[in-house]
Amino acid sequence: MARPVVAIVGRPNVGKSTIFNRLIGDRLAIVEDKPGVTRDRIYGNAEWNGKQFSVIDTGGIEIDGEDMILKSIRIQAELAIEEADVIVFMCDAKAGLTQSDEEVAQILFRSGKPVLLAINKVDNMKRAEDIYEFYSLGFGDPIGISGSHGTGIGDLLDEVVDALPELTEEEYDEDVIKVALIGRPNVGKSSLVNAILGEERVIVSDIAGTTRDAIDTPFEKDGQRYVLIDTAGMRKRGKVYETTEKYSVMRAMRAIERADVVLVLINGEEGIIEQDKHIAGYAYEAGKASLFVVNKWDVVEKDDKTMQHFQNKIRDHFLFMTYAPVVFLSALTKQRLQKLLPVVKHVAEQHSLRIQTHLLNDVVSDAVAINPPPTDKGKRLRINYATQVAVKPPTMVVFVNDPELMHFSYERYLENKIRAAFNFEGTPIRIFTRRKSDES
C-alpha cells in the first residue's frame, strides 16, 4: 500500500532536517546494519495516531549550477508540490518573516495542496509571540515548534494526520506480479517499459495508479500476468528535475512500496555511480525482490570477459544485494530482452517462498553442528529452533537463550546457510532473534 507523502519545505537554515529527523525518529523501519547500504536519507517513513506516511526533507536536495537561494527554494518547492499530499511549510521565528518566506508562500499558495505553517525555533515565551507576524502568509494558524527541544511536534503531527488523504489501492489478484522500474535519470526506464510492452503487444489497458505520478500497465506473457509500475511523472517537466538527481529517489520510493519485484536499472555505457547505490538501497530496505538490469549493453565495447567484469563490479558496489541476479540487455535493440521476464517471475516466486518449519530447523541444526556459535564473556548462544513467520520478504524468527549473544556475523552465517539450502535468489531474507520465553 502506497503511503501518503508529507513534504517539508522552506528556505535554507530554518531547521527542516532537524524536524525531518524528529518526525521519522525511531519510527523509521529497523534496518540491519549491513555493509554498503547508504544512510544518506531525504525520504523516511513515520507513523502517528495509527496513520503511516512518508516524509520528504527537501533540504536534502542538492541543487547544481548557480548559487542562487531563491532559485534553489523555487526548485525545492516545486518538487514538493509535485510529490506531496500535504506540505509542511517551515519558517524561522528567530529570523522573522523574510522575503524568501513570502516567495515560497506564493508558490505553495498556487499549488492548491494542503499547507501547514510550522514556525521553528520557538524556544521561549518571547519567541512564541513572534509567530503572529506569519499570519500574513495566509495559511491559517501558525504552529510554533522547536526542533532542538522537541516542543510542539505532537501538535504538528496531529495537524498533519488530519490533513492526510485516504489513499485507495488498485486491487490486483494475488498471482499478478507488480514490477517497478527504478534508477537515476537517463538509464532508460521509459525505453525499457516501451520495449517490454512493444514486444508483448498484449497491453490490457492503462490504469491511473494510486499516486498521481504512476501509470500501472497490466500485460500477460506466457500465462503469467504482470503490472508495470512506471513513474511517468518523471518525464513531465524537463530541466527542473534533470538538475536534481536525488529527486529520482523520491519517485523510486513511491513505486517500490507498491511493487513485488524491483528492477534496478544501471546504464551500461556510463557504469555504476554512487546514486545507483542510493536507489538500490531503498529497494533492499523495503524488503523487495530485486534484480539488476544493465541497459544499453548494445553500445558497450565487449570481449568475452566484459560481462563477467561488469557483474563483478556490481557485486563489489552492492555488497548488501549479492542475492540479486543481473540481466544485461538493450531496450533500444531488444537484445537479450527475452531473458528478463523469466528472471522476474523466478525472483517473485522466491520472494513468496515458504519453508516448512522442520526443514528450516534441519538446516539450522546442521549449520550449528558445523560451526557452533562462539562464546561471549563465558556465555554461549543456544539456538532452540527457527520458524518462518512471513513472506515477501521471507522472514525467519530464531528462538535462542539470549538474543544479546547473537552476533551479526553469526546471523549472516545462518542466512548464508539458509540461502544455500533453499536458494531464495533475488530476495532479501529477514532474520529476527527472540528469547525462547518471548514466544507467544
- Dump pLDDT digits (tens) for 261-307: 999 999 998 888 887 887 888 889 889 999 999 999 998 988 889 99
In which element (H, E) is residue 251 found? helix 247-258
Mean pLDDT over residues 401-427, rounded?
A: 93
Which SS3 state, helix, strand or coil, does residue 5 take? strand
DSSP 320: G
183 plus 65 within the same structural domain: no
400 plus 273 within the same structural domain: no
pLDDT value at position 169? Answer: 60
Whether the pLDDT of residue 247 is over 60: the answer is no
Which SS3 state, helix, strand or coil, does residue 302 take? coil
How big, in percent rounded to 5, are the helix, strand and coil portions of the chain? 40, 20, 40
Does any domain span residue 346? Answer: yes
Indicate the residue among 163, 186, 215 that finishes a domain.
163
65 plus 154 within the same structural domain: yes
Most confident residue range from 252-261, 265-274, 320-329:
320-329
143 plus 219 within the same structural domain: no
185 plus 271 within the same structural domain: yes
DSSP bridge pairs for 8: 57, 88
47 plus 150 within the same structural domain: yes
50 plus 187 within the same structural domain: no
Pair 253, 238: CB distance under 8 Å: no
pLDDT above 90: percentage of residues in the chain: 45
Which residue has cell 567484469? 309
Does any domain span residue 108? Answer: yes
pTM, entire model: 0.72
pLDDT value at position 63? Answer: 42
Cell digits of residue 394: 521471507
Measured in degrees and rounded to the nearest 5, phi and psi for residue 380 equal -115, 135
Indicate the residue among 350, 384, 403 that finishes a domain.
350
CB-based contacts of 206: which residues, under 8 Å, 6+ apart?
A: 215, 216, 217
130 plus 60 within the same structural domain: yes
How many distinct structural domains can be found in the chain? 3
Amino acid symbol at 26: D
329 plus 224 within the same structural domain: yes
Does any domain span residue 170? Answer: no
Range of the domain at 415: 357-438
Q: In angstroms, rounded to a whole number, what is the distance separating the alpha carbons of residues 115 and 117?
A: 6
Q: HSE-up of 57 (CA within 13 Å, CB side)?
A: 23
| Annotation: binding site for GTP | 10-17, 57-61, 120-123, 183-190, 230-234, 295-298
pLDDT value at position 1? Answer: 56
Task: Read off the pLDDT of residues 388-402 as tens digits, 9 standing for 90 and up.
Answer: 999 999 999 999 999
Indicate the residue among 350, 380, 404 that finishes a domain.
350
12 plus 139 within the same structural domain: yes
Q: Indicate the length of the chain as a whole number.
A: 440
| Annotation: binding site | 10-17, 57-61, 120-123, 183-190, 230-234, 295-298
Of 154-168, 228-242, 272-286, 410-424, give the lowest mean pLDDT range: 228-242
Q: In angstroms, rounded to a whole number, what is the distance separating the alpha carbons of residues 77 and 239?
A: 15
Which SS3 state, helix, strand or coil, does residue 216 take? strand
Does any domain span residue 168? Answer: no
| Longest CA–CA separation in the chain, Å | 72
